[in-house]
Amino acid sequence: MRDFFSHQETARRNSLWLTLSFLMATTAIVGVVSVALYLLTTFAPGRLYFSALPFNLSPRTWNLALLGKIALTVLALILLGTLYKYLRLRSGGGSLVAQMLGGRVIYPDSDDWHERRLLNIVEEMAIASGITVPSVYLLEKEAGINAFAAGFSQEDAVLGVTRGALLYLSREELQGVIAHEFSHILYGDMLLNIRLQGLLHGILVIGLLGEALLRGASSSERAQTGRQKAPTLGIHLALLGLLLLALGSLGVLVGRIIKSAVARQREFLADASAVQFTRNPAGLAGALKKIGGFAPGSQVRATRAAEVSHIFFSNGLAENWLKTFSTHPPLAERIRRLEPGFSGEFPREIAVASISEEEALSYAAPRPGAGSEITAPLAGEDAGRRHAFIHSLAAGRPLREALRDPGQEHLRVAREMLASFPPRLLAAARNGFGARAVVYALLLDHRPEIRERQLALLTKETAPSVWEELQTLLPLLAAIPLETRLPLVDLTIPALKGLSEKQLGEFRRNVRLIVQSDGRIELFEYALHHLLLRRLQGDFGKRPGTGAAISSIARLAEELSCLLSLLSRHGHTEEGAAQMALMKAARLFGKERKHLAYLPPDLCGLKEFDRALRTLAAATPAIRAQTLAAALECIVADEKVTILEAELFRTIAEALNCPAPPWLTLRPGDRDAAEEQTPAGAG
């Protein structure tokens, strides 16, 4: 099984291949369009068929300067079309694509049973894979069964689901479809899809220009009706428009070929990842079978669906003679990879999927003030299995075993974690007032005198409704298992993203006030604040760019030494043991370990640690993989993983653009007294 960084490397290769394909296609189209326009501008329309014959077109008679100017103009049009589309998508992100297809956002506190079921599946998978809970859009008018993921990054991602998928798929079938889309989010396919959309728009701009000229010719003809002057302008515009439209259809064909080459194999890989995630091939296969037997199929009828046909779960366009270049493999072929014995027959009647009364009640949002009981923590793994897992990591188990592709076990942990939250707390995390109260409460200090000072600040700075929620949630949050703190913050992200600019500004100020109220920053405060920055980047505050990839360990020696020193010191009370842990971790860098050193606390506090993470984020995937492996080695050196160490490791992984699934060794109820200790150098 490939690890996350292998997927990243594959995505980078695909991006390079896409760029080369675009350059080749652009070169060919510029050449064809330039020659065609040269012939049209060189020969009068009335003489075109007689003068533009091969024996009259010797290269020696061509005006190469004019041809070059035409080629540069065509190239500029294509590049400007690409740049315009890319910047527009960049500014709007995944939500722009969803809105373009007619989607409406499903609010996290929705009380519709079908919508709550969908959101519940999305939350489980987000926690299981360690990525931001994406915003979910419903394509209300689409009867077909389809879905998509769109965005520039995991933090920007949105999921879109058609009304047909919501109504006609069972929970396990919908789970298979969502798992497929999560694979595209997790492994960089979304960014490739956005780039593909931008690049192909540049190629298609020739055809769009042709359509505009034809409309202009029609308007010109109507304006000249009744005049004595010959309508030569309209004829010229019509000829030019028809030519560009014909050449634009060539661009459509080229676009289809590129989309097909890029997308088809990725769909098979996403199917495989979805099955690995859910361990239920029948769910995904069932969804594909229903598409095959459903009258509307997977067609998306939105006007601009063709622009983004490559992002859908299944083919969103009507079948035509270009199906050879479809962006998706045939349904039967996809199903046979999941069920080798599939006969090829699809069900003839597709009924609305039923939801049991018990299931519907479990998805219903609790009433305000109800369900505030404290749920008992779920039982964890037995100590022997936990110790064996940690020992195997300490013995040098490869990183891919610790950060493997999320699977059924991670999904089970996420489901148990969600079940461990009181219903009232979950409901609060899913609305704007409660989401802010949850974050404030988690940041409150455990020392009474500082906690009172923080609450006094919040009394003045927060809205009354948020303050009331905070008072209600404090006893509930005090009882939840410590390892569920950051996953709970994940659940608040969709609601926080829905805040107004004013509300978000107030939230940002209050978080800063709470964190800075005691004059020091503890590791959990840093981890939570870092998670907010990552999840709400663009809203909560953009993170600086990482710059060019750094491929030298020597250039990163100071940052690596700082990171590993802080981790080693956190896990060991004795300096000698901490140094030994760092030396063991440094071996993973081979001969380059000579550049690493054990730094004193005053050289690797949280300020230096944060700076180190920002620099290491710009390293190559290979170095980032080594860094995470070394960080893991520091944590498990004492064969004990505390909850705070797991949270800190997750923070490091996210900073290095590698989402970390939940640790299978940390279950709801596995409390550790060491969690409340603040390590040396953390202040």
> Residues with catalytic annotation?
181
Look up residue 75 and give its two tokens.
């190239």
Closest CA to 633 of 681, 591, 675, 593: 593
Q: Which helix or strand (DSSP H or E) is residue 137 part of?
A: strand 135-139
Residue with tokens 């669906």: 305
Measured CA distances, 81 to 105, 203, 348 (Å): 29, 8, 44
Radius of gyration of the chain (CA): 29
Closest CA to 252 of 214, 215, 219, 208: 208
Please report, for the chain, how many H helices and E strands are present, in that order. Answer: 26, 4
C-alpha 11/C-alpha 81 separation (Å) is 24
Residue with tokens 């490791």: 649
**Contacts for 605-610: CB closer than 8 Å, 24+ residues apart:** 605/566, 605/681, 605/682, 605/683, 606/521, 606/523, 606/526, 606/681, 606/682, 606/683, 608/562, 609/526, 609/562, 609/563, 609/566, 610/526, 610/530
Closest CA to 338 of 280, 265, 278: 280
Q: Are 287 and 174 in contact (CB under 8 A)?
A: yes
Strand partners, 136: 159
DSSP-derived pairing of the beta strands 135-139 and 158-162: parallel
Q: Are 547 and 618 in contact (CB under 8 A)?
A: yes
Closest CA to 606 of 542, 540, 546, 529: 529
Measured at the alpha carbon of residue 88, what is the angle toward residues 86 and 93, in degrees to the nearest 5? Answer: 90
C-alpha 632/C-alpha 585 separation (Å) is 8
Q: Are 584 and 564 in contact (CB under 8 A)?
A: no
Cite the DSSP H helix spans in 187-313.
189-223, 232-278, 281-293
Q: What is the sign of the dihedral through the CA atoms of 549, 555, 558 and 564?
A: positive
Phi, psi of 559 (to 5 degrees): -70, -45
The dihedral over CA atoms of 398, 403, 409, 410, expressed in degrees to the nearest 10, equals: 170
Look up residue 171 and give its two tokens.
């929970």
Q: Are 443 and 525 in contact (CB under 8 A)?
A: yes
C-alpha 487/C-alpha 668 separation (Å) is 11
Measured CA distances, 28 to 34, 257, 311 (Å): 10, 14, 26
C-alpha 123/C-alpha 135 separation (Å) is 10
In this structure, the number of other CB atoms found within 10 A of the CB of residue 518 comes to 17
C-alpha 536/C-alpha 534 separation (Å) is 6
Closest CA to 488 of 668, 665, 368: 668
C-alpha 371/C-alpha 424 separation (Å) is 5
In this structure, the number of other CB atoms found within 10 A of the CB of residue 366 comes to 16
Look up residue 646 and give its two tokens.
């797991």
Sheet of 135-139, strand order: 104-105, 135-139, 158-162, 147-150
Alpha carbons within 13 angstroms on the beta-carbon side of residue 50 total 4
